[in-house]
Chains A and B, each alone.
Chain A
Amino acid sequence: MSARELIANDPTWLSLVKAVLVFALLLVITILLIWFERRVLGRMQQRPGPNRVGPFGLLQTVADALKLAFKEDIRPKLADNWVYFLAPAISAGAAFLAFSVIPLGGQVNLFGYQTSLQLADMPVSLLVVLACSSVGVYGIVLGGWSSGSPYPLLGALRSAAQVISYEIAMGLSFVAVILFAGSLSTGDIVDAQGQGGVWYAFLLPVSFVIYVISMVGETNRAPFDLAEAESELIGGYHTEYSSIKFAMFFLGEYVNMVTVSAVATTLFLGGWHAPFWLGGVGGGVLNTGWWPLLWFLLKVVFMLFIFVWLRGALPRMRYDQFMKLGWKVLVPVNLVWIVAVVAVRTMRNTGVGTAQLLTIIGIVVVVVLAIVLLLPNRPAASDVEEVPVTGGDHPLPPLDLEVPKVPKRKPVAAAPAPELSAEEEGVPDGRA
């Protein structure tokens, strides 16, 4: 029985139990993820990271979350009350919702019922993921707008443009997977990568790479965290938020990370199937019962590690470069790739043999290479009329630069010491 049929037989109470379990799982993962991220970042930056609260600092996030909940809830005077309140809820809600279609495992016995470890599966599950991410943007955009302050608005505008652009690349990278799996249902896609099937990450490497790039853009994470770039926009869309509302945004972002990682696992890394040769151990026993949950979580953690790795390794991109990457590289490459995939599949379907196929591909590659070689080189820009540069290619400041006169110091009455805003310290680990 396919996952969809199993789930369709669930009684209502079982669905509710599953919903609660998924919710709890996401909360626990989020709490651990924040700790994980700080520890890994710490290791990358030659420092220990949080290690005081609980064993290995594991409870640090719990402590931060509790503290955050008890902070003063500040509402700017110009804020639009209802929308200001609604935005964090949308952000977190949409993030949770998307996870409901992710298959966490195969067939298990849950409270005496044979069911699948998945909350819901529809014929169009994959589109649900896209729909949730497109609704989730509302949280960010409305949060930025309703704060009634310029920096959040700028962050919101950036974020809207960014998420819409990268959703296109993301949706296109699904297309090749859908073509191979022949279904939009997440359960079917995982099944298609199961026994004897190849993980789509190996079969469709271009789609996988584009998906990984666009998922980072989609979740506003470094190096694409331009919507909250603190060096330009303070905190972006959530500048004015504090206390539990801020926590909701925070939660939404991390749950989103988990969700897109889970989608990557489902679509490209074989879902809950045991990795590599392990699937064959003991006649496939590692693909039954509760084992798949372990493989699934391991793969998700691997994807999350990539997120953290990127954050630790790469500087933030400039906004226009980022949009250019999306529209001028990811989308066109994706389109060409889809056309190629469709062509190859059509040829396979019409009975073209492997040798012939490889010959055709070879010819196409040669033709493309020839065209590329024949294209005239772009003339290099001349250096005349440029400012003199130093050895390190930096522009040289003019040697006759006038230094402004230092004004005379005047005695000034002592000013009251600036109060340190409590908010600055409260954010767990900042968004550095």
Chain B
Amino acid sequence: MTVSVYEEIAFWILGPLSLAGALGMLFSRSAVHSALWLVLTMLSLGVLYMVQDAPFLGIVQIIVYTGAIMMLFLFVLMLAGRESSDSVVEVLRGQRIWASLLGIGLAGLVVAGVARSLGDVTPAGLDNPAANGSGGPGNVANIGQSLFTRYLFPFELTSALLITAAIGAMVLAYTRKQAKGGKNRQREMVNMRFRENTRPGALPGPGVFATADSVATPALLPDGSIAKESLSRIIETTPVTQIEEDEALADRHPDAHALTGAARDGDDGASIVASPASEERSE
């Protein structure tokens, strides 16, 4: 069994890449970056499999691990927010050092053992007819053969695992609030809005008639005063509470035209509070 030049080139590119990905995952500060490094490792491994005559395995590695699992990871990380990073406080004293030492020790042990025992083994290779089963050449058909003959039972048993996982997700996440009658539907919301007799129409959007169209700038009403309800309370960077404070303080509306999108730049919130000059002007 010889190693072709292309295979060697591929190895020397993908090997270091996957290693770099693994190390990058360990050492990057942001969780999303960690996940991305891991994606790199998985992609490199997938391509390595393909180079070694296992295209099915390689592609499935990419579809399943990169496409599905890591995507779900990213999904959760993005929902959790970008500021959330690991706490660096050690709960157990000296844990980091010991964990690193023991981890490196275990890795060394395993690598040494594997290297020693595989040093003089000749690989069979997947393109070798002897390595292929009754399914003929290529490993797609052979994987199918194995799954439905030799490993039929574990293969079927996996369905039990998947059912359990699905039920588990539902048990942990589903509350009757999501069921019928638990939460208001669109139609019920509309009805409610009309019954309550307050504001049947939509709220004004931020930035309308203002000097900037950012979400942080409130809309202006026809008389030039500020429409506070145009700011979303759930977006942190909008100055909705600040406007209320300013109003209470000054006992009048701040100058609408002094409002810009860069509302939170200064610590003193100067751009929100009416500047003395503009105050005069508005009187």
- Residues on A facing B (Cβ under 8 Å): 80, 83, 122-124, 127-128, 130-131, 134-135, 137-138, 141-142, 144-145, 148, 150, 153, 156-157, 160-161, 164, 167, 184, 386-387, 395-398, 400-402, 406-410, 412-413, 415-416, 418
* Bound: A386/B192 CA distance, A: 10
With known contacts A387-B191, A398-B194, A135–B66 Cβ distance under 8 A: yes
* Bound: A160/B69 CA distance, A: 12
Residues on the B chain within 8 Å of A397, using CB: 194, 200
- Nearest chain B CB to A431 CB, angstrom units: 18
Q: Is the CB of A410 within 8 A of B223?
A: yes
Say if the beta carbon of B26 comes within 8 Å of chain A.
no
Q: Is the CB of B78 within 8 A of A156?
A: yes
Q: Is the CB of A395 within 8 A of B194?
A: yes
- Nearest chain B CB to A271 CB, angstrom units: 20
Known contacts A127-B63, A145-B32, A161-B75; 17 further A-B pairs (Cβ under 8 A) = A122-B50, A122-B55, A123-B139, A124-B56, A134-B62, A134-B66, A138-B74, A148-B82, A395-B194, A396-B194, A400-B197, A407-B221, A410-B225, A412-B224, A415-B257, A416-B211, A418-B212
Q: Is the CB of A123 within 8 A of B194?
A: no
Q: Is the CB of B191 within 8 A of A386?
A: yes
Residues on the B chain within 8 Å of A123, using CB: 55-56, 138-140
The A-contacting residues of B in range 196-228, CB under 8 angstroms, are 197, 200, 211-213, 215, 221-225
Q: Is the CB of B62 within 8 A of A412?
A: no
Say if the beta carbon of B68 comes within 8 Å of chain A.
yes
Using CB atoms, name the residue of chain A closest to B211.
A415
Say if the beta carbon of B17 comes within 8 Å of chain A.
no
* Bound: A150/B214 CA distance, A: 12
Using CB atoms, name the residue of chain A closest to B198.
A402
* Bound: A157/B80 CA distance, A: 12
* Bound: A396/B256 CA distance, A: 35
With known contacts A135-B66, A167-B67, A124–B140 Cβ distance under 8 A: yes
Q: Is the CB of A157 within 8 A of B78?
A: yes
Q: Is the CB of B67 within 8 A of A127?
A: no
B interface, size bucket: 35 or more
Q: Is the CB of B55 within 8 A of A124?
A: yes
Q: Is the CB of A410 within 8 A of B67?
A: no
* Bound: A396/B190 CA distance, A: 11
Say if the beta carbon of B71 comes within 8 Å of chain A.
yes
* Bound: A113/B255 CA distance, A: 76
Residues on the B chain within 8 Å of A160, using CB: 71, 74-75
Say if the beta carbon of B48 comes within 8 Å of chain A.
no
Q: Select one of B200, B222, B278 contacting A401, CB under 8 A.
A: B200
Residues on the A chain within 8 Å of B59, using CB: 124, 127-128, 130-131
Q: Is the CB of A398 within 8 A of B197?
A: yes
Complex A-B: 17 CB contacts under 8 Å: A123-B55, A130-B59, A131-B62, A137-B71, A141-B78, A142-B74, A145-B32, A157-B78, A160-B74, A164-B72, A167-B67, A386-B191, A387-B190, A402-B197, A407-B223, A408-B223, A413-B282
Q: Is the CB of A130 within 8 A of B68?
A: no
Q: Is the CB of A395 within 8 A of B56?
A: no
Q: Is the CB of B68 within 8 A of A164?
A: yes
Most chain A CB inside 10 Å of its own CB: which residue of B33, B67, B74, B222: B67
Residues on the A chain within 8 Å of B221, using CB: 407
With known contacts A145-B78, A157-B75, A137–B225 Cβ distance under 8 A: no
Say if the beta carbon of B36 comes within 8 Å of chain A.
yes
Say if the beta carbon of B160 comes within 8 Å of chain A.
no
Q: Is the CB of B67 within 8 A of A409?
A: no
Residues on the B chain within 8 Å of A386, using CB: 191
Say if the beta carbon of B104 comes within 8 Å of chain A.
no
Say if the beta carbon of B97 comes within 8 Å of chain A.
no
Q: Is the CB of A134 within 8 A of B56?
A: no
Using CB atoms, name the residue of chain A closest to B232.
A150
- Nearest chain B CB to A398 CB, angstrom units: 5
- Nearest chain B CB to A203 CB, angstrom units: 22
